[in-house]
Chain A
Amino acid sequence: MDVHHIRPPGLIVVICLLVSGCTANRPALDSILAGTTLPATLELADTPFFPQEAYQCGPAALATVLVSSEVDVTPEELAARVYLPKRQGSLQLELVAASRRYQRLPYQLDPELPALLAELQRGRPVLVLQNLGLASYPVWHYAVVIGFDSAPNTILLRSGDRERVMMKTGKFMRSWELANNWALVTLRPGEFPVNPDESRYLQAVAAMESTGKVEAAATFYQAALERWPVSTLAMFGLGNSYYTQGKLQRAEMQYRRLLAIQPSNAAARNNLAQVLADRGCSDAAFAEVDAALDITPQDSPIRKSLLEIRARLVNRTPPLQEPRIPCPAATESGWH
């Protein structure tokens, strides 16, 4: 058979899919940059490079961003923590979890290119998931964005075994969109992304706290409270981080601070009651428990906890600490 038999429409589809990646209708980098304060070109050339071994782009890419945020770690060490041999790859959730183990806050960026590029301007390389295949035949790949250049319209990446990949912006965006625009930065304690979303940031900190990194979590919560001074979630989390570290007075202060803003927060009142009980301040603890029980619905899990605290108070479980610091008066803290 000869060349005539190639059907033109089919060929066009194939070429479009495989070669150009359907980039025609995507905006060029300079039009994206136009509405921002970003420079025309930027490269974080100091970003470390870990050439990946077979299928190990997850550990390699994670090591790249972690080392950039001053963690002393190697891809080999990370492979044992994130790689799944029979999947020949790493899950996003495990990269997130692993970065918490190094006291770095895994913050997922807004799913837009400007948000990603803005992080580069702050000196932070960005871990991305790409689908280098098709939507129906995904080829999942992690890479690290380290820069961009509007003149040849490219995104710069540390990718696989190549130290400096220049990928056409449209092609990059297609591969990134096929992976739901997943982009991650690993923040040092107290750091923020360029445009932090309060709720997403605090949930990431709460995840860090709940997986045992309470000291780092406390630092993140403190920073969050400087930025969002009336965040009740940050107060609650900071109180809990202090409690876990045995810093009872500090925990108490945070719960009280929260209750001053939101007196009907039964969870905070529950925790305050527990701290008071631990301090040996039974009268004040009783007052808090009873105040909280008044406002807690019958089916709430908080009610169960409150009743347990009450039962322990009645049975006079010995306190964690003798009250070295005088207890607050029971009426002072009661709320109705």
Chain B
Amino acid sequence: MYRLRARRFIVCLLSISLLTTGLPAISYAGIIGTQSMIEMEQSDADRARVDSFIKQENVRDQMIGLGADPAEVGERLAALTDEELRILSRNIDNLPAGGSSLLAVIGITFVVLLLLEVTGVIDIFKKV
């Protein structure tokens, strides 16, 4: 059972690596994609290209890790361009995630006041 799983894993890994090594920067059927052309114009032709398959898998894992519905993630990834995937795969944890309510603002204000109080810049809480 264990061996079968291990074998399956290795087969998966090998087929992924086979797939990815063969992927050209060009989209399909001999047509050069519009995005590829933009990228070629914007960068050196021999700039290292991060493979889109690996990027997708990387971002998929991170998005599921952040609680995205696994059933939706495929379509969410498909809506992103290669460049956007590149940005997310590098930086998903540090990009702004807008979502805060007024409560968070009040929280921040309180924390700042508290810090200033502790460091002795202000002295308002002891009166209360």
Q: Do A and B come from one complex?
A: yes
Of the residues A1, A17, A312, contact of B126 by C-beta under 8 Å: A1
Q: Is the CB of B30 within 8 A of A302?
A: no
Of the residues A7, A97, A133, contact of B79 by C-beta under 8 Å: A97
Q: Is the CB of A140 within 8 A of B97?
A: yes
- Contacts A87-B97, A141-B100; is A211 near B40 (CB within 8 Å)? no
Q: Is the CB of A129 within 8 A of B98?
A: yes
- Contacts A93-B87, A129-B98, A133-B108; is A308 near B30 (CB within 8 Å)? yes
Interface residues on B, range: 35 or more
Q: Is the CB of A81 within 8 A of B72?
A: yes
- Contacts A92-B98, A93-B87; is A98 near B79 (CB within 8 Å)? yes
- Asked if A229 lies at the interface with its beta carbon under 8 angstroms from chain B, I say no
User: For B108, what are the chain A residues with a Cβ–Cβ distance below 8 Å?
Assistant: 133-134, 137, 139
Q: Which segment, of A26-34, A150-158, A269-277, A327-335, faces chain B? A: A269-277
Q: Is the CB of B123 within 8 A of A87?
A: no
**Number of interface residues, chain A, beta carbon within 8 A:** 83
A270's closest neighbor in chain B, by CB? B32
- Asked if A104 lies at the interface with its beta carbon under 8 angstroms from chain B, I say no
Task: Give the docked Cα–Cα distance between A209 and B105 (Å).
Answer: 39
- Asked if A132 lies at the interface with its beta carbon under 8 angstroms from chain B, I say yes
Q: Which segment, of A37-45, A53-61, A188-196, faces chain B? A: A53-61
Q: Is the CB of A139 within 8 A of B24?
A: no
User: For A212, what are the chain B residues with a Cβ–Cβ distance below 8 Å?
Assistant: 78
Of the residues B75, B78, B100, contact of A55 by C-beta under 8 Å: B100
Of the residues B30, B34, B99, contact of A87 by C-beta under 8 Å: B99
Label chain A's interface by main secondary structure: helix
- Asked if B13 lies at the interface with its beta carbon under 8 angstroms from chain A, I say no
Q: Is the CB of B123 within 8 A of A6?
A: yes
Q: Is the CB of A140 within 8 A of B35?
A: no
User: For B6, what are the chain A residues with a Cβ–Cβ distance below 8 Å?
Assistant: none
User: For A148, what are the chain B residues with a Cβ–Cβ distance below 8 Å?
Assistant: none
Task: Give the docked Cα–Cα distance between A98 and B47 (Å).
Answer: 29
Q: Is the CB of A80 within 8 A of B97?
A: no
- Asked if B81 lies at the interface with its beta carbon under 8 angstroms from chain A, I say yes
- Fill in one digit per residue for A239-271: 1 if any B CB lies within 8 Å of its CB, else 0: 010010000000000000000000000010011
- Fill in one digit per residue for A294-306: 1 if any B CB lies within 8 Å of its CB, else 0: 0001011110110
User: For B25, what are the chain A residues with a Cβ–Cβ distance below 8 Å?
Assistant: 301
Interface members, chain A 88-110 (any B CB < 8 Å): 88-94, 96-98, 100-101
Interface members, chain B 47-84 (any A CB < 8 Å): 63, 65-69, 72, 75-76, 78-84
- Fill in one digit per residue for A1-24: 1 if any B CB lies within 8 Å of its CB, else 0: 111011100110110011000000
Q: Is the CB of A206 within 8 A of B30?
A: no
B81's closest neighbor in chain A, by CB? A207
Q: Is the CB of B105 within 8 A of A91?
A: no
A56's closest neighbor in chain B, by CB? B99
Q: Is the CB of A86 within 8 A of B65?
A: yes
Q: Is the CB of B112 within 8 A of A17?
A: yes
A309's closest neighbor in chain B, by CB? B30
B92's closest neighbor in chain A, by CB? A91
Interface members, chain B 9-60 (any A CB < 8 Å): 24-26, 29-38, 40, 45-46
B84's closest neighbor in chain A, by CB? A93
User: For A237, what are the chain B residues with a Cβ–Cβ distance below 8 Å?
Assistant: 34
A residues touching B (Cβ–Cβ < 8 Å)? 1-3, 5-7, 10-11, 13-14, 17-18, 52, 54-58, 61, 80-94, 96-98, 100-101, 129-134, 137-142, 160-161, 179, 203, 206-207, 209-212, 233, 236-237, 240, 243, 267, 270-271, 273-274, 277-278, 297, 299-302, 304-305, 308-309, 312
27 contacts between A and B (CB under 8 A): A18-B112, A57-B99, A80-B72, A81-B72, A81-B79, A84-B68, A85-B67, A87-B97, A88-B97, A88-B99, A88-B100, A89-B99, A91-B88, A93-B88, A100-B79, A131-B96, A133-B105, A139-B100, A142-B98, A161-B101, A206-B38, A209-B35, A233-B34, A236-B37, A267-B32, A273-B30, A301-B45
Complex A-B, nearest 6 residue pairs according to Cβ-Cβ distance, in ascending order: A89-B99, A89-B97, A85-B67, A10-B121, A274-B30, A97-B79
